[in-house]
Amino acid sequence: MKNLILLIASASCAVSASASVSLDSCRNMAVHNNKTIRMAEENMRGAEYYKKAAQPAYLPGIDFTGTYMYNQNKINLLGEDAKLPTMSFDPATQSYNYNILKDPTGVPIKDPATGSYIPTEVAVIPKEAMSYDIHNVFAGAITLTQPVFMGGQIKALNDIAGYGEQLAKAMRNNISQDVVFAVDEAYWMVVSLKEKKTLAENFVNLVDTLRYNVQAMLDEGVATRSDLLTVEVKLNEARIALTKVDNGLTLSRMALAQICGLPVHTRMELEDEQLKSAGNVHPDEEENINDVYTRRQDLEVLRQSINMLKGREKLAMGDMLPKIAIVGAYAFSNPNVIDGFEKRFGGGFSIGATLTVPIWHWGGNYNRYKAAKANTNAQRLLLEDTEEKVQLQVSQARFSFDEAKKTYEMTLSNLTKANENLRQAQLGFKEGVLTTTDVIGAQTAWLSANSEKIDAEIGIRLCKTYLSKVLGNLYY
């Protein structure tokens, strides 16, 4: 983080000092300052944490649960004192007999009201002895759960988390390539407009010189007022065009600064504002299309998406498989009934195993599995379709570069002819064999030829950048 701050600060200081900024520096600032890339990097961190969070699922989990409950009433197991009949040992029968009331003949007497025998002795259990205070109940448990077999779902979750991390990286790289390409477009737009501003200034000077010469000829009586007005109209048009180019250059500088993450009014002098010849610009070498597929980050996003969907298939399959886990716990409560009812904490250990076997869910789990498989197949078809389009993109990009090179060569030829045409027109005007209209036409043709040459030079560079992008080589 410190290095990033120092890098941005040094870049900002260099810009504020009006130093020449290279294309590489602009790319660097844009990649480090772009908020979309920073969001993608945060997603990468999130995916990394998800991966770390999935790994402990193989290990035992330990949890603590604590509860407190207040009860309005206490528990009374008896509604009143309990009277239990007693028994005595009879040596004659060698057995225990109930102590019940008998008549003089030895016949047991029954209670007329209840129809039961009347005991002569009873054991009394007071109601209070079976009453328990549960107004305040505390309970807790520490549990340990060790997964043994979860239908492959733990491994699937870890695989998905790993693929998610790779997906986040690919998305970040893909966004970075888009940002770098946008920087290149904005950078060369500034260079193009700077060249066209210089061209427009030269054209204004050229037309202004013609106006001066026509004015001198008018003063000598060898030119008409109409000739001067024609030149002055062209001069005004040239000045208006210069103003438009100047405004466009200012806006393009602001756009470049914004892409680089700098204040839009930052003045940036570019290293390539003195446009060099594009004749030595060469495209990337022809490569195997499979290597292109490997480098293309948008395809990598699709590949990792397919892997994640395969993981979801395994998750859905796991819902149809049995699951086994070992469970251990230490539970305690106050009051406790381990050794009678006691108003103190008491508890004990327990250990066991759980087995869950899905039997019948009316096809719900199976249909979820088939749905996951269909999503994977759809994503795989999307990848195949995108790869076919990439082949077309590469071919189009190469044709565009070749076309840009040929266009540049033609503009060089046209510029040579335009320069000669302007020289001949100026010479013929001095000798009086050509009119101001002829000279203005030659000047306009010269302006057009120079403008087309600038466009062709910028076009070559942009075509090369686009070709690098579609080949997957536009890394930073």
Say whether the peptide bond before residue 104 is cis (omega within 30 degrees of 0): no
Mean pLDDT of 17-29: 81
pLDDT band with cut points at 50, 70 and 90 for residue 114: confident
If one compares 318 and 14, the residue with the highest pLDDT of the two is 318
Section 118-144 average pLDDT? 88
Q: Please give the Cα distance from 447 to 436 (Å, whole number).
A: 16
DSSP 3-state assignment of 346?
A: strand
Integer Cα distance of 8 and 12 in angstroms = 6
* Of the listed ranges 37-46, 89-98, 308-317, the one predicted with least confidence: 89-98
Distance CA 20, CA 9 (A): 16
**Of 424 and 282, which is predicted with more confidence?**
424
How many C-beta atoms surround the C-beta of residue 442 within 10 A? 23
- pLDDT score of 3 more than 50: no
In eight-state DSSP terms, residue 85 is E
User: Can you tell me the distance from the alpha carbon of 211 to that of 443, in angstroms, rounded to the nearest whole number?
Assistant: 13
pLDDT tens, residue by residue, 370-394: 999 999 999 999 999 999 999 999 9
Model pTM? Answer: 0.79
Is the pLDDT reported for residue 284 higher than 50?
yes
Contact 5, 258 (CB under 8 A): no
pLDDT of 388-423, one tens digit each? 999 999 999 999 999 999 999 999 999 999 999 999
Q: Which amino acid is at 300?
A: E
The reported pLDDT for the residue numbered 237 is: 95
pLDDT band at 476 (very low <50, low <70, confident <90, very high): low
- Alpha carbons within 13 angstroms on the beta-carbon side of residue 156 total 17
Closest by CA to 407, choosing from 273, 279, 280, 282, is 279
C-alpha–C-alpha distance, residues 14 and 114, integer Å: 110
Average pLDDT over residues 95-110: 82
Task: Tell me: pLDDT of 307 over 80.
Answer: yes
Reference 210, options 441, 471, 454; nearest CA is 441
pLDDT at residue 103, rounded to an integer:
79
Cα–Cα distance for residue pair 388/399, rounded to 1 Å:
17
Q: How confident is the model at residue 9 (pLDDT cuts 50, 70, 90)?
A: very low
Rounded-to-10 torsion of CA 448, 405, 412, 442: -20
More confident of the two residues 261 and 13: 261
What one-character DSSP code corresponds to residue 93?
Answer: T
**pLDDT, mean over the chain:** 89
